[in-house]
Amino acid sequence: MSATTAPLLSVERLTMRFGGLLAIDDMSLNVAARQITGVIGPNGAGKTTFFNCLTGFYKPTEGSVRLNHPKRGLMRLEALPSHQVAHKAQVVRTFQNIRLFPKMTVLENLMVAQHNALQHASGFSLAGLFGLAGYRRAEAAAMDKAIGWLKRLDLIDKANTAAGDLPHGMQRRIEIARALCVDPLLLCLDEPAAGLNPRESAELNELLKHLAGDEGIAILLIEHDMSVVMNVSDHICVLNYGRKIAEGTPTHIQQDPNVIKAYLGEDDADEQLHAEASS
């Protein structure tokens, strides 16, 4: 792809071992800025483990994850604890099984995402306790940012509703909105289209394209819904049994025999190839 510029994130020879299980095996991947990189693979291929290694929730057994941060320079994500990956490196993730703060309102969820900036502005609660003007300004700015995202993701009607009371599709959007409030450089979405209906999936496509194209946020996308992945990804990486088996553009991936084999099995793949040949 864009080999001229240095990649935003480069994963090199990443290996994650749980006892005897090799969850990720010697995987390397580059993620370019302002692009959507899809990570696909059958169930249990190691996609979520890959995300966990990236975002500090797991410490990889071997390998490195390097982020080329525009302001802070080169950062080694595998050495950072999870909260610093989000706070300092601005690599923010969502979860496969949605993790909102269910009893807090949607707006509060988005305010929690801006905790570090606000906590700093509140003078570690002292300035906030006395309601000093500086803190009030910071809080108003944080509210504006949260409300801005809520409006753009069509969630503003639900701003004061407890997040846990909302339907599934909406919770997915809230989780993305909340991640966006952390000001991500790289947004890691773990199956954002799971449980969405076709219309919601189509809206998600538009949103992702907008975020990468207009907002300049690089997106790393784990997804099973091919209508989403093939549609929005600039680049796709396919995992199977923890190994990277293919990488390339969506059209390239769709024709890759290894990928077809991984998804459809040996015989089916043969049949499909025959079918393609005869047509």
Q: Which of 122, 171, 205, 231 binds other proteins (CB under 8 A)?
A: 122
Task: Please give the residues from 227 up to 246 whose contact with other proteins meets the rule CB under 8 A.
Answer: none
CB of 246 to other proteins, least distance (A): 29
Q: Is 153 in the site for other proteins (CB under 8 A)?
A: no
Beta carbons of 217 and 148 less than 8 angstroms apart? no
The residue range among 69-77, 150-158, 191-199, 213-221 that interacts with other proteins, by the rule CB under 8 A, is 150-158
- At 227, phi and psi to the nearest 5? -65, -30
Q: Is 87 in the site for other proteins (CB under 8 A)?
A: yes
Nearest CB to other proteins, comparing residues 192 and 244: 192
Q: Is 92 in the site for other proteins (CB under 8 A)?
A: yes
* Contact code string over 55-74 relative to other proteins, x by CB under 8 A: xxx-----------------
Q: Is 101 in the site for other proteins (CB under 8 A)?
A: yes
HEC-encoded secondary structure of the chain: CCCCCCCCEEEEEEEEEECCEEEEEEEEEEECCCCEEEEECCCCCCHHHHHHHHCCCCCCCEEEEEEEECCCEEEEHHHCCHHHHHHCCCEEECCCCCCCCCCCEHHHHHHHCCHHHHHHHCCCCHHHHCCCHHHHHHHHHHHHHHHHHHHHCCCHHHCCCEHHHCCHHHHHHHHHHHHHCCCCCEEEEECCCCCCCHHHHHHHHHHHHHHHHCCCCEEEEECCCHHHHHHHCCEEEEEECCEEEEEECHHHHHHCHHHHHHHHCHHHHHHHHHHHHHC
CB of 189 to other proteins, least distance (A): 12
Instruction: Round to whole Å and give the CA distance between 151 and 156.
Output: 5
Q: Which of 33, 107, 187, 219 binds other proteins (CB under 8 A)?
A: 107
Q: Is 182 in the site for other proteins (CB under 8 A)?
A: yes
Nearest CB to other proteins, comparing residues 159 and 194: 159
Q: Which of 74, 79, 140, 264 binds other proteins (CB under 8 A)?
A: 140
CB of 111 to other proteins, least distance (A): 6
CB of 182 to other proteins, least distance (A): 6
CB of 80 to other proteins, least distance (A): 11
Nearest CB to other proteins, comparing residues 3 and 71: 71
**Interface contacts to other proteins, rule CB under 8 A:** 55-57, 81-88, 92-95, 99-105, 107-108, 111-116, 118-119, 122, 124-125, 128-129, 140, 143-144, 147, 150, 156-162, 165-166, 178-179, 182
